[in-house]
Amino acid sequence: MSGTSWGRYPQPHDQRLLMLRDRDAPLPDFTGTALPHGNGRSYGDSCLNSGGTLLCTRGLDRFIAFDAERGLLRCEAGVLLGEILDLVVGQGWFLPVTPGTKYVTVGGAIANDVHGKNHHVNGCFSEHVAGFELLRSDGSRRWCSAHENADWFAATVGGLGLTGLITWAELRLQRVRGPWLNCETHRFGSLAEFFALSAAAERDYEYTVAWIDCAARGAAAGRGHFICANHAPAADGPRPSRRRLSVPFTPPLSLINRASLRAFNTLYYHRQRARVQQALTHYEPYFYPLDAIGRWNRIYGPRGFLQYQCVLPPAAAEAGMGELLARIAASGSGSFLAVLKVFGTRKSAGILSFPRPGATLALDFPNGGPATFALLDALDEVVAGAGGAVYPAKDARVAGARFRGYFPAWQSLQPYLDPKFSSSFWRRVTE
């Protein structure tokens, strides 16, 4: 129970942590404002409440019921997605939407309305939430679903924890034949190639995503690996290693610098010799490659890092991504694993849900002080100019006016905000 966020920037100050354990109990007494906190896998300050209280939900970790015939699961909000998979995969079920880490709580997944590599097929997490109980600071409880209290449902999915505490939820799972996926990896040399591969794969593949070499410049700019996959009918396949490495301490300086970045990206790009490669892969390394290294966020040193995830609308996607990548490569900053994906057209019910039609890019930047912030401000100019948006779950620094431009419906959330709930993020972007 750390009460921090994954990017370790900003560091919260004067924040009280209260552990919740009983979903039927009233909220504990607190002074000032409170904010639900899941597993702190948001990168910036949307899961922080400096000067206030965090209602830590990992103690709400019970399964309530599982209908293995229909794939309906009821569980408390602090259950991790990984714990759900441990329970259901062996019984032929899977999460219909999963982000790139399994260390995310159900409450956190709902409050950020997370997306995965199959957005073009299954939309956002909330599409598969049959309902949840919302507990407000006045002690009232309401069941929210697409049919009952639908306005509260729309405010709370993607609502950044500001409408109340989700105590438990019912999820609709997806049938699978086993834990393996048939994966196909295509090496590509340009953004134009990426967009063509993605458009062609959308029809036949449930999962599509690309890794982009964000350090490449000139003729190599926009190169990467495009990975598409489907759940496999295989009865057996390679099992993931049980060994989990961990970064044991925070080095005094970030290990990510211009030289290590270029070297890693170049090696990674060339690790696949063939243009196309096929493999049967277990879901763990496929969906959660970073989870194999515990506390990997420490490699960025004591100042932490910032993730930047944006979406650009279809008409501006290729040119805009080219512009963003050029600015990033010229800065010499960026990350080992920059991720590029084309979202589908399915619209989430959530007022503040981030995914929308277009292409999304996500990458990490070591916190290098003013130079990093100036670079991210410059990226914002491109994103705002193209009519795009930045993902609040990853953000720690976007200016209030920018946020309000990215999410023009933000004021529609006002009637649903719990008067005693707030977050560092919300104060930063709205006050």
Please report how close the Cβ of residue 426 comes to ligand FAD at its closest, in angstroms. 9
Considering only the stretches 109-117, 171-179, 190-198, 278-286, report the one whose residues sit in contact with ligand FAD under the rule CB under 6 A. Answer: 109-117
φ/ψ of residue 69, rounded to 5? -75, -45
Q: Could you say whether residue 95 binds ligand FAD (CB under 6 A)?
A: no
Of 111, 122, 213, nearest to 164 by C-alpha is 111
Tokens of 11: 């560091």
- Whether the CB-CB separation of 198 and 210 falls below 8 Å is answered with yes
Chain centre to alpha carbon of residue 298 = 19
Among the candidate windows 40-48, 138-146, 174-182, 197-205, which touches ligand FAD by CB under 6 A? 40-48
Cα–Cα distance for residue pair 325/335, rounded to 1 Å: 12
In whole angstroms, give the CA distance from residue 124 to residue 387.
Answer: 21
Asked if 34 is part of the footprint of ligand FAD (rule: CB under 6 A), the reply reads no
For position 105 contacting ligand FAD by CB under 6 A, the verdict is yes
Of residues 323 and 418, the one with the C-beta less far from ligand FAD:
418
Contact at 8 Å (CB) between 336 and 360? no
Q: Which long-range contacts (CB under 8 A, 24 or more apart) does 265-268 make?
A: 265/213, 265/214, 265/215, 265/216, 265/336, 266/213, 266/215, 268/211, 268/213, 268/225, 268/336
Options 30-38, 190-198, 372-380, 381-389: segment touching ligand FAD (CB under 6 A)? 30-38
CA distances from 396 to 347, 391, 403 (A): 25, 10, 11
Question: Is 33 or 112 the residue whose CB approaches ligand FAD more closely?
Answer: 112
Pairing type for strands 174-175 and 293-294 reads unpaired
Cα–Cα distance for residue pair 100/320, rounded to 1 Å: 24
| Choices 93-101, 330-338, 366-374, 409-417; region in contact with ligand FAD by CB under 6 A | 93-101
Spatial distance between the Cα atoms of 342 and 361, rounded to a whole number of angstroms: 9
Please say whether the beta carbons of 232 and 180 come within 8 A: yes
Contact range with ligand FAD by CB under 6 A, out of 66-74, 112-120, 188-196, 363-371: 112-120
Residue 422 CB, nearest approach to ligand FAD (Å):
10
Using the minimum distance from each CB to ligand FAD, give the nearer residue, 221 or 422.
422
Q: Which of 73, 75, 95, 114 binds ligand FAD (CB under 6 A)?
A: 114
The residue from 27, 47, 191, 325 that contacts ligand FAD (CB under 6 A) is 47
Q: Does 118 bind ligand FAD (CB under 6 A)?
A: no
Report the site for ligand FAD in 173-202 (rule: CB under 6 A): none
Which residue in the set 12, 44, 82, 107 belongs to the binding site for ligand FAD (CB under 6 A)?
A: 107
| Bridge partners, residue 230, by sequence | 182
Contact pattern for ligand FAD over residues 277 through 316, marking x by CB under 6 A: -------------x--------------------------
Please identify, using beta-carbon distances, which residue of 104 and 386 lies nearer to ligand FAD: 104
Q: What is the CA radius of gyration of the chain?
A: 21
DSSP string, 176-187: -SSSEEEEEEEE
How many helices (DSSP H) and strands (DSSP E) are in the chain?
Answer: 11, 20
Q: Which of 158, 161, 224, 334 binds ligand FAD (CB under 6 A)?
A: 161
Q: Select the residue interacting with ligand FAD from 157, 166, 324, 340 (CB under 6 A).
A: 166
Pick between residue 37 and residue 223 the one whose CB is nearest to ligand FAD.
Answer: 37
Q: Give the separation between CA 359 and CA 337, rounded to whole angstroms.
A: 16
Q: Answer yes or no whether residue 115 interacts with ligand FAD by CB under 6 A.
A: yes
- Give residues 387-426 in contact with ligand FAD (rule: CB under 6 A): 393
- Residue from the set 4, 9, 23, 37 that interacts with ligand FAD by CB under 6 A: 37
| Interface residue with ligand FAD, options 27, 34, 85, 111 (CB under 6 A) | 111
- Whether a cis peptide bond, with omega within 30° of 0, leads into 285 is no
**Binding residues vs ligand FAD (CB under 6 A):** 6, 35-42, 46-47, 57, 77, 99-101, 104-105, 107-109, 111-112, 114-116, 160-161, 165-166, 290, 393
